[in-house]
């Protein structure tokens, strides 16, 4: 219902059942509003699930989906596509490919350093690769046309669903579903990783292989989300902590609630982005404005114990 073109609940209901009040309402709902709502729900659920999985696997409450440089790598691929003047679909594919390539590079470096099984080595490799991708983004911005390409790059890096279409949702859906399915199916085993590798092996879980599968699955959904919507921060960090207030730390209970809360949060944020001002506000700005105070509130509520 929300947006520059107002639709009442009756208008929405009539349009959904094939009786739109006018042709413009049908175009707005089916071609603009509905794809945005579905995309926002998918991306919010994906980022929240990835954040919850990363925080459990790395046993660190401050871990976010971009911990291994996936967001930066996908961002570098997308801005490079904008610089080359590629069509939107090609830009999204480059973002997705570079995001997956980033995690492949991180794993290859960790393997070369013989630290593929050590969480700290993998995270440090991710930080190094993320720094390189960030430098690449800065270089592309320096080379971009300041009148045309640079504004597009800047707006994309702040995250937005302004140009989302049904085809974009269809393109991102398979990768997001493919990444979420292992997390959902193995959520009980994944929760055991929070106990440590030795305890997980005692309970019959091969910690190394499971951790690698979780990282790959969470990376897949993050790369798919970033390739479609740009870089959206705070959702993967903030939502899992909000869900823990309801479910507690058990991952098998946390994941479904984080999925629902992430989807709901992104739908509300996207609705606000297209409603609070004449010009659409990038999603990354709103999530940061919301995420900072909420995260401080969570820290104050949990106190020292939560931080540890």
Full pLDDT tens readout for the chain, 308 residues: 887 788 888 989 988 888 888 888 888 888 889 999 999 999 999 999 999 999 888 887 777 877 788 889 999 999 999 999 888 889 988 999 998 999 889 888 988 887 666 777 888 888 899 999 999 999 999 999 988 889 889 888 898 898 888 888 998 899 999 999 999 999 999 988 888 778 888 888 888 889 889 988 998 999 999 889 988 988 998 899 899 989 988 999 999 999 999 999 999 999 998 888 788 889 989 998 988 888 788 777 765 444 44
Q: Which residue has the tokens 């705070």?
A: 234
pLDDT, one tens digit per residue, over 256-299 is 999 999 999 999 999 998 888 788 889 989 998 988 888 788 77
Rounded CA-CA distance 156/149 in Å is: 11
Query: What φ, ψ does residue 11 adopt, rounded to 5°?
Result: -60, -45
Give how far the C-alpha of residue 227 lies from the chain's centroid of Cα atoms, to the nearest Å.
9
pLDDT at 240: 92
Residue 295 near residue 239 (C-beta atoms within 8 A): no
**What pLDDT is attached to residue 122?**
82
Query: What SS3 class is residue 211?
Result: helix
**pLDDT on residue 115:** 65
The pLDDT, as a whole number, for residue 307 is 46
| Alpha carbon distance 237, 222 (integer Å) | 13
Q: Over pLDDT 90: what percentage of the chain? A: 37
Predicted TM-score of the model (pTM): 0.88
Of 48, 63, 61, the C-alpha closest to 307 is 61
For residues 182 and 185, give the distance between their C-alpha atoms in angstroms, rounded to a whole number. Answer: 5
Structure-block tokens of residue 95: 């973002």
Residue 280, pLDDT score: 86
Q: What is the pLDDT of residue 260?
A: 97
């Amino acid at each position: 219902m929300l947006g520059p073109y107002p639709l009442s609940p009756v208008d929405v209901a009539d349009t959904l059942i094939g009786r739109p009040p006018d042709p413009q309402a049908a175009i707005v709902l089916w071609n603009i509003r509905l794809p945005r709502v579905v995309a926002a729900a998918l991306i919010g659920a994906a980022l929240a699930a990835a954040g919850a999985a990363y925080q459990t696997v790395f046993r660190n409450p401050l871990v976010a989906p971009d911990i291994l440089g996936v967001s930066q790598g996908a961002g570098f691929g997308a801005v490079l596509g904008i610089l080359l003047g590629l069509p939107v679909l090609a830009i999204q594919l480059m973002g997705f490919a570079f995001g997956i390539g980033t995690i492949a590079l991180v794993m290859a470096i960790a393997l070369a350093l013989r630290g593929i099984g050590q969480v700290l080595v993998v995270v440090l490799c991710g930080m190094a690769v993320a720094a390189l991708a960030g430098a690449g983004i800065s270089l592309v911005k320096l080379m971009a046309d300041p009148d045309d390409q640079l504004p597009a790059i800047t707006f994309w890096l702040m995250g937005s669903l302004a140009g989302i279409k049904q085809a974009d949702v269809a393109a991102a859906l398979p990768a997001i579903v493919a990444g979420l399915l292992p997390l959902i199916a193995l959520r009980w085993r994944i929760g055991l990783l929070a106990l440590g590798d030795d305890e997980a092996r005692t309970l019959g879980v091969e910690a190394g292989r499971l951790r690698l599968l979780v990282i790959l699955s969470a990376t897949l959904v993050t790369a798919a989300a970033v390739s479609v919507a740009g870089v959206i921060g705070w959702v993967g960090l903030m939502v899992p902590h909000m869900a823990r207030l309801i479910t507690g730390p058990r991952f098998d209970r946390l994941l479904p609630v984080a999925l629902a809360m992430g989807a709901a949060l992104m739908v509300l944020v996207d609705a606000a982005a297209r409603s609070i001002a004449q010009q659409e506000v990038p999603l990354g700005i709103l999530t940061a404005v919301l995420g900072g105070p909420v995260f401080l509130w969570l820290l104050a509520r949990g106190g020292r114990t939560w931080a540890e």
